[in-house]
């Protein structure tokens, strides 16, 4: 049995006990828990604003990515009193989406990451992936309308990032026609995510979903050999599924700058449009980034 190791650190004035820093979280690369915590500490200045006021679902790998993982929505037992927790009805996301209530009575107690200390505490629990909704909560913890829309571009083999880049440019131009700017993120898994800010919060989650679905159907009609708007996997071969459903209130998407729990420590990494344009022309023009590359870019 491996002996547990501990070290106490001060983060934002909070004393945290970090455990098993030498544990290998990514067996393929030998990346340790200490390296994971260091990565999140260094990206915190750009990541925390993207997590602000969002209920966070974690995927935890207690024994590293070579072993089993599990989703965790509720705040874990024993969390410190200073870590913000919001109690949201299981329909809370749907309520924010519809502008109405549900008959469901059960609740979820989500943590909210609002500081480096909170981020460090949860990552120390082997939370490699952080997933968030597009809606946020107010000061009382009540869900409010989304402040951004996400479009998940999911390639069906043999399509890849090149085809996703081509579709991303189509989505960018289509949103621009409606006065919306969007920014790209390579997911660290297979495809691309596009985010468009919705500062007015005028639409519910379901209305945002319907808007994204309409754009997907438009682009599918214009580019049927490249774009598919339906979830049926049999229809996706060689095409890019424009997944509008990520805007449903109950769904979450990997947060920008989050690590992925895969063989290699890739990241959901914000990219430039110049990079996406290069990726649309060259099969090797855009690739997923590992955490070291993201840190280099920030540096």
168-178: pLDDT as tens digits: 999 999 999 99
**How would residue 95 be classed by pLDDT, with cut points 50, 70 and 90?**
very low
Whether 148-248+269-298 and 6-144 are alike in CATH topology: the answer is: no
The 10s digit of each residue's pLDDT in 261-273 is 999 999 999 999 9
- 177 Cβ neighbours under 8 A, 6+ residues apart: none
Average pLDDT value for residue range 238-257: 96
Is residue 226 over pLDDT 60?
A: yes
Q: 């990726």: which residue's tokens?
A: 279
Average pLDDT value for residue range 224-240: 88
Average pLDDT value for residue range 207-236: 93
**How would residue 94 be classed by pLDDT, with cut points 50, 70 and 90?**
very low
Widest Cα–Cα separation across the chain: 61
Architecture of the domain made up of 148-248+269-298: 2-Layer Sandwich (3.30)
Is residue 234 over pLDDT 80?
A: no
Tokens (6 digits) for 294: 């993201």
Is residue 31 over pLDDT 80?
A: yes
What integer pLDDT is reported at residue 241 of this predicted model? 97
What integer pLDDT is reported at residue 102 of this predicted model? 41
- The domain limits of the chain are 6-144, 148-248+269-298
**How would residue 91 be classed by pLDDT, with cut points 50, 70 and 90?**
low
What average pLDDT does the chain have?
93
**How would residue 76 be classed by pLDDT, with cut points 50, 70 and 90?**
very high
285 close to 162: Cβ distance less than 8 angstroms: yes
**Beta pairing, strands 240-243 & 227-228:** parallel
3-state secondary structure the chain: CCCCCEEEEEECCEEEEEECCCCEEECCCCEEHHHHHHHHHHHHHHHHHHHCCCEEEEEECCCCCCCCCEEECCCCCCCCCCCCEEEEECCHHHHHHHCCCCCCCCEEEEEECCCHHHHHHHHCCCEEEEEECCCEECCCCCEECCCEEEEEEEEECCCCHHHHHHHHHHHHHHHHHCCCCEEEEECCCCCEEEEEECCCCCCCHHHHHHHHHHHHHHHHHHCCCCEECCCCHHHCECCEEEEHHHHCCCCCEECCCCECCCCCCEECEECCHHHHHHHHHCCCCCCCEEHHHHHHHHC
Is residue 191 over pLDDT 80?
A: yes
Tokens (6 digits) for 236: 């996706």
The 10s digit of each residue's pLDDT in 272-285 is 999 999 999 999 99
Is residue 141 over pLDDT 80?
A: yes
Q: Which CATH class is domain 6-144?
A: alpha beta
């Amino acid at each position: 049995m491996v002996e547990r190791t501990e070290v106490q650190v001060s983060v934002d004035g909070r004393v945290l006990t970090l455990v098993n820093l030498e544990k290998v979280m990514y067996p393929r690369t030998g990346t340790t828990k200490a390296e994971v915590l260091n990565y999140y500490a260094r990206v915190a200045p750009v990541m925390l604003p993207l997590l602000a006021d969002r209920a966070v679902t974690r995927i935890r790998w207690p024994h590293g990515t070579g072993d089993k993982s599990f989703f965790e929505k509720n705040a874990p037992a024993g969390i410190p009193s200073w870590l913000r927790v919001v109690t949201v009805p299981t329909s809370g996301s749907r309520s924010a989406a519809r502008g109405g209530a549900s008959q469901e009575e059960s609740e979820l107690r989500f943590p909210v990451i609002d500081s480096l200390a909170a981020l460090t505490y949860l990552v120390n629990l082997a939370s490699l992936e952080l997933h968030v909704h597009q809606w946020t909560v107010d000061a009382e913890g009540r869900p409010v309308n989304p402040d951004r829309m996400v479009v998940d571009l999911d390639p069906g083999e043999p399509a890849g990032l090149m085809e996703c880049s081509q579709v991303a440019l189509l989505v960018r131009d289509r949103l621009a026609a409606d006065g919306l700017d969007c920014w790209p993120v390579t997911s660290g898994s297979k495809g691309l995510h596009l985010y468009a800010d919705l500062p007015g919060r005028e639409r519910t989650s379901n209305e945002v979903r319907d808007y994204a679905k309409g754009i997907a159907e438009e682009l599918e009609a214009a580019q049927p050999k490249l774009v598919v708007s339906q979830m049926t996997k049999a229809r996706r071969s060689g095409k890019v599924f424009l997944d509008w459903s990520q805007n449903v209130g109950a769904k979450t998407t990997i947060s920008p700058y989050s690590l992925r729990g895969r063989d290699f420590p890739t990241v959901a990494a914000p990219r430039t449009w110049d990079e996406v344009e290069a990726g649309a022309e060259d099969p090797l023009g855009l690739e997923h980034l590992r955490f070291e590359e993201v840190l280099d870019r920030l540096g």
